[in-house]
């Protein structure tokens, strides 16, 4: 009368992969929203930045497009990691590094808090994906 249940054993590092995938989707979405905000910022907001931005201190459109594109790439990489694409770990690490790199440029702006949040989330993603190897995560 007892029916033997077959339990599928979770692979080592599964929790970290799910954590990293969800975190990348959230962090990439945050960066894309910041990019959309920068594209539609008023001239008063642009004056607040003064000479604090690298590459384009007088126009936020450049940074808006960079943030929007990088954020979208990170969201796609997050879905690749979350759905366990074979190359998802390496794409996820590369996307998190690129996102952290671009967020670093905003540390000296008036909106430095958002940049620190994105950098912290990216460091967590890099740690999560770095502790998981391909042979154990995708077995």
Give residue-wise pLDDT tens across range 102-113: 888 878 777 788
Determine whether 97 is exposed, middle or buried from the number of CB atoms within 10 Å of its CB (0-12, 13-18, 19+): middle
Q: Which residue has the higher pLDDT, 86 or 90?
A: 90
Q: How many CB atoms lie within 10 A of CB 33?
A: 14
Residue 12, domain member (yes or no): no
Residue 25, domain member (yes or no): yes
Residue 97, domain member (yes or no): yes
Which pTM does this prediction carry? 0.73
Mean per-residue pLDDT, 30-35: 88
How many structural domains is the chain composed of? 1
Picking from 29-33, 84-88, 113-117, which range would have the lowest pLDDT averaged per residue?
Answer: 84-88
Residue 46, domain member (yes or no): yes
Contact yes or no for 103/122 (Cβ under 8 A): yes
Domain interval for residue 122: 21-137
- Residues contacting 102, CB < 8 A, separation 6+: 31, 66, 67, 70
**Interatomic CA distance for residues 35 and 60, integer angstroms:** 9
Residue 6, domain member (yes or no): no
Residue 112, domain member (yes or no): yes
DSSP-derived secondary structure letter, 138: -
Residue 53, domain member (yes or no): yes
Residue 92, domain member (yes or no): yes
């Amino acid at each position: 009368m007892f029916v033997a249940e077959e339990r599928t054993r979770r692979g080592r590092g599964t929790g970290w992969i799910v954590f990293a995938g969800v975190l990348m989707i959230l962090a990439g979405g945050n960066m894309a929203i910041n990019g959309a905000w920068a594209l539609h910022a008023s001239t008063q907001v642009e004056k607040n930045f003064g000479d604090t931005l690298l590459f384009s201190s007088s126009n936020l459109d450049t940074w808006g497009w960079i943030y929007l594109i990088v954020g979208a790439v990170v969201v796609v990489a997050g879905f690749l990691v979350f759905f366990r694409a074979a190359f998802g770990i390496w794409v996820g690490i590369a996307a998190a590094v690129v996102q952290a790199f671009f967020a670093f440029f905003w540390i000296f702006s008036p909106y430095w808090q958002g940049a620190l949040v994105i950098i912290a989330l990216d460091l967590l993603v890099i740690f999560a994906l770095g502790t998981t190897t391909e042979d154990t995560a995708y077995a």
